[in-house]
Structure 1
Amino acid sequence: MKMAAVAEGPLPYVFVENPSGTPDEDDPVVSIIFFGLCMVLGIASRHLLGGTRVPYTVALLIIGIGLGSLEYGTSNGLGKIGAGIRLWANIHPDLLLAVFLPALLFESSFSMELHQIKRCIGQMFLLAGPGVLISTFCLGIALKFTFPYDWSWKTSLLLGGLLSATDPVAVVALLKELGASKKLSTIIEGESLMNDGTAIVVYQLFYRMVLGQSFDVGDIIKFLTKVSVGAVGIGVAFGVASVLWLGYIFNDTVIEIALTLAVSYIAYFAAQDGADVSGVLAVMTLGMFFSAVAKTAFKGESQQSLHHFWEMVAYIANTLIFILSGVVIAEGILHSKHYFESHGNSWGYLILLYVFVQVSRIIVVGALFPSLRRLGYGLDWKEATILVWAGLRGAVALSLSLSVKRTSDNSPYISQETGTLFIFFTGGIVFLTLIINGSTTQFVLHLLDMDKLSTEKRRVLEYAKYEMTNKAREAFDDLGDDEELGPADWHTVRRYIRSINHLEGGQPHPHDVPESDNNIHAMNLKDIRVRLLNGVQAAYWRMLEEGRITQTVANILMQSVDEAIDLVSHEHLCDWKGLKTHVHFPHHYRFLSMNFFPKKLTTYFTVERLELACYVCAAFLRAHRIARRELHDFIGDSEIASLVIRESEVEGEEAKQFLEEVRDAFPQVLHVVKTKQVTYSILNHLSDYVKNLEKVGLLDEKELTHLHDGIQTDLKKLLRNPPSAKMPKIHDLINGHPLLGSLPSAIREPLGSSTKEMTKLRGLTIYKEGSKPNGIWLISNGLVKWTSKSLRNKHSLHPVFSHGSTLGLYEVLVGKPYICNIITDSVVHCFFVETEKILSMLRTDPNIDDLLWQESVIVIAKLLFPQTFEKMTMQEVRNLVIEHSIMHIYLSGEIIEMPQHSIGFLLEGYIKSQDAQQEMVTSPAVLLPSCGDASFSNLEASGSKAASFCHQGFQYLVEGRARVIIFDMGTHETHSMLRRRSSSLVSHSKELPRVQSREHCGLMSWPEHYYMQRRHSHHLEGSNSQLSKPWVRHSSYPRTRSYKAAPPQSRSYPRVPSSSSRAPQLVSVQSEGAATMDKKPRVKEFTRSPDFRAPLRQPSKKKNCTAKESSDKSSDESSDDNGLIVRIDSPSSLSFRMAS
């Protein structure tokens, strides 16, 4: 097929422009010869120039000029090799950019660090935006007034914009080879990437003007906005789509890498040809998006493979494009040699143009230097000098000049002479900047002392060599003597290990400095902080590979370390500061509490946020612990190292506190996080085990494939459908709740269907003091605190209620306003029951009246008399209500007598004290005995006589119908002492023997041994069926115990049902938790004396046995390290604070 046919085809790019060539030149196969020759010459150059100061790219450009000169400057040419050279030299400039730029731009932008980009983005925009415009106009003015070619302003500005593009291909290759600092490399590389895109946009604008299009100011702004903003949008769109697709690819490195290559070319084509915007900016945005979002998606072997692949792609593309640039320069000059022979002064103008290019670069950096110093990391004069000198031009500018040359052959707007001069001047500038600037950049770095190691780095390097010597000696001691070959000679071995033979006198500690030298001390302190943070970041990468953290969490953690490294010179370790916003709930989460959001959606997002916070805190603590240990192992005991290690330990205190608080409020979240980590770790361990079997050759390929596929299926299932923290369902909560679980099923089931589930963030008010009671609140998970203006009791140290509490019930029963404010002190998962539902429940079954009153007094006791009841757990208060209390209902005129060692609560009604003051007491109120030992209530220290809700007296006259409940505190304290003593005795009893399991079983005895283990485990399960598993023992609600209805408390008011009735009763609980709802209830019956004046009966023997059993179980749980024991009502300062 002839090339003319190709040129006429529908392809977007034309490969060659010269259809009338030699037969060899028409054969596309010869292009492979040039490709192979370029690779061989590139490999030879890199091999031979290794260790020299000649930049690799400069050598390639010279080789390309030499090849072009041999082909175009000699009469015989190079035969088939020359035909391949001509075929490549005639490549269309658009195709040249489309083939090489996407891969090179993506590789460069993807390798940049997100944190560096964020810090330097302002400097990049300054240099790539205003900097390109300043350079364009400076060069355009110089060309217009200095060069004798009578160019128009449009043509002069066209060449000025073309030469303003500092080529990212040349700059990046040079910086990587010279090993410049990361900050300077980021600024120069980012500027070259951005200003390459903006320079192409400016070139396109003036190119269209030269071809006759007219633009006003509005058109120019519209064009620039469309080309730049549209390119960024396309890059982000392709980035989002490819990252989402990447998330569905599981452990397939080939597809993952191929996707990154394909999307870079598709994005370039869609932007450049599809949307008519900048393809360069689109690919650059795509690469930066991948760097920000998807870098952690590649881990382990996949990450290494991706790195090696793109390194190879960049090497091949750089080799081809620089050799080809040299060929194009030679071809452009030699084809027009007759013109240059008659216009010899063009060479002088080329030198003058090179001077103008350098001067314009100085003007750009100098004009923007004040802003560059203040933005990002700042910029000093040395770095500004390198920034000026590193303004290289390369293949991008050359390709744009080729477009002008091609257009000049058939356009009346651009003469062929102008097209030839564009090629000549652009090729000359590319050659001079690479030869002069590129070859001398390393010398300039050395001249400015920017290529030297700092003092602290040299000390650490020498210390590392000293430690390497010790490690080498240890390895020799282990390997130097062989049973078959005998010993080796250490002195001979050491002569071959020359990397450790250059110690500069002695072995100084890397951070031992004179105390008087404060400057060196500060430098060493900064250095060791950076090293510890680098160790933390390395630990994060290992945790990502091990599956301990997710990709999202890894991105958050890596960013926090990068930000902390920037501040080590003037702050303590502060990477935790960057994590606080991800641990505490942001402000926009408050909108989730509004009524128009579905409650299940609110709960889902809240739990997901808690899981993220737990991942962050756990990874932070583990990474710092690993980094501290490794730093200490490397450096040893040092004053500066100890100081930094202490900073690390202090940073972890808040993370530890957060996890403890989550363990108290939402233990199921920690359980899910740990389950994910353990499952992933086990599957990885199994995968390594299978790989080891493959290495040692014990399994064939079919068996290995079967095992490997099974493990990969399990891993994919874990990642696609991981376990999630489940909040208790309303029917489970009601069935397991101490109050609602005792209700008849006819009442309990309708109640569950009318209950509203809610999730509230910290700091939100559930109900306010003095407001009308609209319902009760059942706290499923979390903590709430109470405040009150009327309950001015200074003895409440921890005014909180935890999960298992029933709030607002008392106010609903008495019909009075709420007596306190209830505010969430953590994230709270709760259920709301309207007042009408409670009253309707009472009307349906009046027998549950006492049950509700007994439940309500649990909260009232902690509110009105915290100096006694706040010290008690919810379990103890419930037991006190059940076992050591009597509730009476009185009519007007009856007398209430307060026994000694007791506390009473007036729940409803009015009574009058019978002392000299005749004080009227209204509900709610605390009734205390007037004399005797009252130490149990701390009356002497509490000042309760002055409290408006606390009253002391022996007798009270009932003024109206009154309900009173009296607690026998003396009997309660006696039984509590007995339980503690019983628990202490049980703790010294024998432990159950543990079943020992072997880690590995023999292959030949596998089936029999396996079934014997199964039979043995079933036998153990049967023999210990009464023991609860650790994961079953963890609960939010207890086993239930009921009792028969007590006789009437007042003979004159026979409202309470008799003992023959089957009224439901309040249940006594063992602990407050959510998982106990799966347990079978254990019923215990007991009766009370109907006479409240008589001493409260001592618990029966059966009760003592039950108490001892409960104590035994509690002791057993506390001794089990694998169990998770959660104190329900333990004070907590869970602070899911809003991000500031």
Structure 2
Amino acid sequence: MGEPEPDDAVLFVGVSLVLGIASRHLLRGTRVPYTVALLVLGVALGSLEYGTQHGLGKLGAGIRIWASINPDLLLAVFLPALLFESSFSMEIHQIKRCMAQMVLLAGPGVVLSTFLLGSAVKLTFPYDWSWKTSLLLGGLLSATDPVAVVALLKELGASKKLSTIIEGESLMNDGTAIVVYQLFYRMVLGRMFDAGSIIKFLSEVSLGAVALGLAFGIVSVLWLGFIFNDTIIEISLTLAVSYIAFFTAQDSLEVSGVLTVMTLGMFYAAFAKTAFKGESQQSLHHFWEMVAYIANTLIFILSGVVIADGVLQNNVHFERHGTSWGFLLLLYVFVQMSRLIVVSVLYPLLCQFGYGLDFKEAMILVWSGLRGAVALSLSLSVKRTSDAVQPYLKPEVGTMFVFFTGGIVFLTLIFNGSTTQFLLHILGMDKLSATKLRILKYTRYEMLNKALEAFGELRDDEELGPADWATVKKHITCLNDLDDDPEHPHDVDDEDDHVHTMNIRDIRVRLLNGVQSAYWAMLEEGRINQVTANILMRSVDEAMDLVSRQPLCDWKGLKSNVQFPGYYRFLQMSRLPRKLVTYFTVERLESGCYICAAFLRAHRIARRQLHDFLGDSEVARIVIDESNAEGEEARKFLEDVQVTFPQVLRVLKTRQVTYSVLTHLSEYIQNLQKTGLLEEKEMVHLDDALQTDLKKLKRNPPLVKMPRVSDLLNAHPLVGVLPAAARDPLLSNTKETVRGHGMTIYREGSRPTGIWLISIGVVKWTSQRLSRRHSLDPILSHGSTLGLYEVLNGKPYICDMITDSVVHCFFIEAEKIDELRHSDPSIEVFLWQESALVIARLLLPQIFEKMAMHEIRVLVAERSTMNIYIKGEDIELEQNYIGILLEGFLKTRNQNLITPPVVLLPSNADLSLFGLESSGFEAVLILLIYFRKIKRKTKDSKCFHACSREPCILLSYCTQLPSGG
């Protein structure tokens, strides 16, 4: 046979793909795994080429070219694409939940398996190999091949949880096993390692790979964000970055290329899945599915060829060691036993992490430890080294490595791979639950109804006439064996609590699936952006895990993204530019509004779909009620923003409508081209203009325009009435802040640091010392000035102030208020009057809660006087007056002490007022408010509980109360 031509290798690729197509076509519907068939075909091709005298001609030449390929090149060609496709397709939420289990199996599990297999080979095999060589084979065979495992799991349709654990473990296991292999490979070649250098080597190779994968992921995902509606570039980027990352890891930095690409793929799964939408998402899915199919076909057929080559090309050696076939079977037993021991030892820990692991799943985990092309390629590297480096590895050692590894790959794929589905069936893991079976049966009845509706619309044709329903139904075989009486899937015995619980769990899952589908639809429609979509998808994934234990709770995962984060207070109190702080504020509000609006819309769509599908069943009503309750906080947030920052909602809606109009126009002109009313050139011209507008909208969307700080402050009653000379210094020393719902402005008993001017929003007060017995609505709205009384008086805050909506307010330090207070006596009087407004609401809610803040302000301005009484002066409150003690101390004739703040009510007795010497007050400040109407009331101690911090002292004076307003 002459020298093979390079283009013969192309023939092997073509024939392999044809064999793969034929296998996939002929095996559809059978229980024979596709990968097993490919391996057998590869062995057959290799046997015909290497085991016969004439060979396969041109095809045989191509087989020899591929069989002699450099093992490192083999991994570099196939692994990046297969690893990226596998890790990118995994559910990131399940990866996080199962990460501890995967790390246990791929870390301690690989090390334990390496030493178990290495020890078994050293102690039982007759080849007189060193411990280093035996452990090298043990590490090589510890690599459960992700290519083989993933291909098998996809065919068998295993549960998502089990598939995630096995697939993730095989990916990590492969990476760590290669690292362990590289360690012993270098030791076999004469390099010395102590304990410290071993730990350093393993850490650098593994952790460095993770860091490199994250770096490539961050850079490429950021680049992806700058690409707009170019599917070819987006897909090409994912392919290119996987290969460049693998090459950089293996050749440039000498870290694990497998772990690098695995980390890259998982990063894409976490942050870039929502970057592909619509046609791009479908194209990406089909592209990587095709890449994985072609790579799997080639690599499994090639693995079979290499196995045949390793056996048939070394007949002389096997004749000298006739027992090698027996030791291969023994090694297969050792491989299965080591896998069983590893899972058994780690089983107690595997049960504690993630979703847990039951006995049946542990059995599948043991049996799914397939070996494949990765282990085979590593054994070829050993053989290549043994042929070239005689002092360290004899040629026959490399030959035996290929023989044993190829045999284990063949046996695990043939026996384990072909019997895994049978094992799933024996363990009952491939059966549908009773709830799902009832849903399927009910769905078939619904399909029959839809078929009848469609037939009613299509049976008559103007050109061809009517159709025959009996014949139509005959061809819809899935509907032929239905009973006449349909049964609702939830019409079961209510006394069976387990069935009821399973039904509720099933409906919750279906509703959450509908919610997630609605999120995807909104992403494609431009209603939400990529970041918001990631947050929303993650909340659904987290809620899925809890459907068995509690009602719907996907809002729980969104609350932290709607509320203002803890670091926001630092931003507001720092010296950052106001525009930057405002930008962060608006961004947070926009994000919260996007999330809440999408959440409410998705749940509304999912509830309607669930009701349309299942009707008014009791179980469906329970879940629908849970969904309605979930939306309360989201609705409250949007209502607060509508009151506080309506411009935010208006801008967000404008963005959505603009995007929808542009996409609608794009679809319209494409339909015109499909119907022949526009030529392709005309359509492209118009579509390019629309795509340019869409790109501009994405890069430069309409922005929220916030009012100027000076305008907002001038509109506040406290600042607006001040003279310009006093107002201007105050404006330059205010700090703008936005507080989310439920945030504390200040705490009762804390030292006053300044005042808060409420521009927009509502705050609620609570106090341990002030009673709220008569307070029906303990809130203060926009236009209020909080903390002013405490700053003027120098006393601790008298209550807690907590936001009851999104609040836009301004903070002024206490020192600035003191300066303003002492700048002009008339300003000081005004400040005391302004402080009395909040005191009146707090201490006498029976009257002042019924009045708006501006009404109280008008009342104080028009019907009040500020009186200062010197020490020892007597005073009697006249009828129709209410006094508010703001500063100083009072004593009654009975020597009872009254301290501010307190409301003084009219009485027949008078009060002796004096300042306590220890207090330093020589005068008492009282604001008197005149009311035209008052009503008599008998003495009642209860009526003072909300009027004073010392209600018992004023008991004898509460003989009459003014009526409300």
* Aligned: 1:179 with 2:157: yes
Shift of 1:833: 3.8
2:665 alignment partner in structure 1: 686
* Aligned: 1:116 with 2:80: no
| Local SS of the residue matching 1:328 | helix
2:493 alignment partner in structure 1: 514
- 1:15-54 mapped onto 2 (5 Å cutoff): 22-23=2-3, 25=4, 27-54=5-32
| Local SS of the residue matching 1:149 | coil
* Aligned: 1:633 with 2:626: no
* Aligned: 1:192 with 2:173: no
Letter in 2 for 1:805: S
Q: Is the 8 A contact 2:71 2:380 kept in 1?
A: yes
- CA distance in structure 2 between the partners assigned to 1:942 and 1:757 by the alignment: 40
Shift of 1:433: 1.4
- CA distance in structure 2 between the partners assigned to 1:755 and 1:379 by the alignment: 58
1:440 alignment partner in structure 2: 419
Per-residue CA deviation, residues 271-323 of structure 1 (Å, 9 max, x unaligned), is 11111111001111111111111111112211111110100000010011111
More moved, 919-928 vs 624-633:
919-928
Which of 29, 38, 46 does residue 60 from structure 1 map onto? 38
Which of 333, 353, 364 does residue 342 from structure 2 map onto? 364
Shift of 1:579: 2.6
More moved, 732-741 vs 358-367:
732-741
* Aligned: 1:677 with 2:690: no
| Local SS of the residue matching 1:485 | coil
Shift of 1:725: 4.7
**Distance change (3 Å), C-alpha of 1:520 and 1:793:** closer
Letter in 2 for 1:109: S
| Local SS of the residue matching 1:143 | helix
1:299 alignment partner in structure 2: 277
**Distance change (3 Å), C-alpha of 1:495 and 1:672:** same
1:495 alignment partner in structure 2: 474
**Distance change (3 Å), C-alpha of 1:586 and 1:778:** closer
Shift of 1:404: 0.7
* Aligned: 1:339 with 2:317: yes
1:236 alignment partner in structure 2: 214
2:129 alignment partner in structure 1: 151
1:569 alignment partner in structure 2: 548
**Distance change (3 Å), C-alpha of 1:792 and 1:647:** closer
2:268 alignment partner in structure 1: 290
* Aligned: 1:393 with 2:371: yes
- 1:1040-1079 mapped onto 2 (5 Å cutoff): none
1:720 alignment partner in structure 2: 699
Shift of 1:619: 2.3
**Distance change (3 Å), C-alpha of 1:926 and 1:398:** same
More moved, 83-92 vs 693-702:
693-702
Shift of 1:703: 4.3
- 1:862-941 mapped onto 2 (5 Å cutoff): 862-881=841-860, 884-885=862-863, 887=865, 903=882, 915-920=908-913, 925=926, 927=928, 933-934=934-935
Q: Is the 8 A contact 1:868 1:938 kept in 2?
A: no
* Aligned: 1:415 with 2:415: no
**Distance change (3 Å), C-alpha of 1:949 and 1:343:** closer
Q: Is the 8 A contact 2:874 2:911 kept in 1?
A: no
Q: Is the 8 A contact 1:867 1:942 kept in 2?
A: no
| Local SS of the residue matching 1:487 | coil
- CA distance in structure 1 between the partners assigned to 2:224 and 2:750 by the alignment: 56
- CA distance in structure 1 between the partners assigned to 2:415 and 2:749 by the alignment: 81
**Distance change (3 Å), C-alpha of 1:687 and 1:434:** same
Shift of 1:756: 3.3
| Local SS of the residue matching 1:577 | coil
Shift of 1:850: 7.0
| Local SS of the residue matching 1:486 | coil
Letter in 2 for 1:934: K
Which of 277, 284, 289 does residue 311 from structure 1 map onto? 289
1:800 alignment partner in structure 2: 779
**TM-score between both structures, scaled by the size of structure 2:** 0.89
- 1:204-283 mapped onto 2 (5 Å cutoff): 204-283=182-261
Q: Is the 8 A contact 2:139 2:181 kept in 1?
A: yes
Q: Is the 8 A contact 1:787 1:820 kept in 2?
A: no
- CA distance in structure 2 between the partners assigned to 1:563 and 1:406 by the alignment: 49
**Which stretches in structure 2 are left out of the alignment for 5+ residues?**
893-905, 915-922
Count of residue correspondences: 934
Which of 509, 517, 521 does residue 538 from structure 1 map onto? 517
Shift of 1:158: 0.9
More moved, 618-627 vs 708-717:
708-717
**Distance change (3 Å), C-alpha of 1:716 and 1:923:** farther
**Distance change (3 Å), C-alpha of 1:795 and 1:676:** farther
**Distance change (3 Å), C-alpha of 1:712 and 1:879:** farther
- CA distance in structure 2 between the partners assigned to 1:452 and 1:480 by the alignment: 39
- CA distance in structure 1 between the partners assigned to 2:794 and 2:483 by the alignment: 85
Q: Is the 8 A contact 1:553 1:615 kept in 2?
A: yes
Letter in 1 for 2:624: I
- CA distance in structure 2 between the partners assigned to 1:391 and 1:313 by the alignment: 24
- CA distance in structure 1 between the partners assigned to 2:665 and 2:939 by the alignment: 61
**Which stretches in structure 1 are left out of the alignment for 5+ residues?**
1-20, 956-967, 974-1140
| Local SS of the residue matching 1:757 | strand
- CA distance in structure 2 between the partners assigned to 1:38 and 1:324 by the alignment: 9
1:1013 alignment partner in structure 2: none
Which of 617, 621, 636 does residue 657 from structure 1 map onto? 636
2:533 alignment partner in structure 1: 554
- CA distance in structure 2 between the partners assigned to 1:514 and 1:910 by the alignment: 74
Which of 129, 133, 148 does residue 111 from structure 2 map onto? 133
* Percent identity of equivalent pairs: 66
2:919 alignment partner in structure 1: none
**Distance change (3 Å), C-alpha of 1:121 and 1:939:** same
**Distance change (3 Å), C-alpha of 1:829 and 1:822:** farther
- 1:1090-1129 mapped onto 2 (5 Å cutoff): none
**Distance change (3 Å), C-alpha of 1:875 and 1:480:** farther
Per-residue CA deviation, residues 1045-1065 of structure 1 (Å, 9 max, x unaligned), is xxxxxxxxxxxxxxxxxxxxx
More moved, 639-648 vs 270-279:
639-648
Letter in 1 for 2:415: I
- CA distance in structure 2 between the partners assigned to 1:770 and 1:122 by the alignment: 45
**TM-score between both structures, scaled by the size of structure 1:** 0.76
Which of 449, 454, 459 does residue 438 from structure 2 map onto? 459
- CA distance in structure 2 between the partners assigned to 1:497 and 1:130 by the alignment: 54
Letter in 2 for 1:611: E
Shift of 1:867: 2.0
Q: Is the 8 A contact 1:924 1:949 kept in 2?
A: no
1:70 alignment partner in structure 2: 48
- CA distance in structure 2 between the partners assigned to 1:944 and 1:146 by the alignment: 91
| Local SS of the residue matching 1:212 | coil
- CA distance in structure 2 between the partners assigned to 1:127 and 1:908 by the alignment: 72
| Local SS of the residue matching 2:487 | coil
- CA distance in structure 2 between the partners assigned to 1:577 and 1:822 by the alignment: 26
Q: Name which one, 1 or 2, has greater alpha-carbon Rg.
A: 1
- CA distance in structure 2 between the partners assigned to 1:129 and 1:857 by the alignment: 69
- CA distance in structure 2 between the partners assigned to 1:945 and 1:508 by the alignment: 62
Q: Is the 8 A contact 1:899 1:929 kept in 2?
A: no
Per-residue CA deviation, residues 330-370 of structure 1 (Å, 9 max, x unaligned), is 22222212222343222222222222212222222222222
Q: Is the 8 A contact 2:866 2:925 kept in 1?
A: no
- CA distance in structure 2 between the partners assigned to 1:475 and 1:613 by the alignment: 43
2:429 alignment partner in structure 1: 450
**Distance change (3 Å), C-alpha of 1:582 and 1:836:** closer
Shift of 1:270: 1.0
Per-residue CA deviation, residues 750-778 of structure 1 (Å, 9 max, x unaligned), is 44234333455654454866956x65432
- CA distance in structure 2 between the partners assigned to 1:895 and 1:142 by the alignment: 105
1:736 alignment partner in structure 2: 715
**Distance change (3 Å), C-alpha of 1:809 and 1:437:** closer
- 1:341-356 mapped onto 2 (5 Å cutoff): 341-356=319-334
2:903 alignment partner in structure 1: none
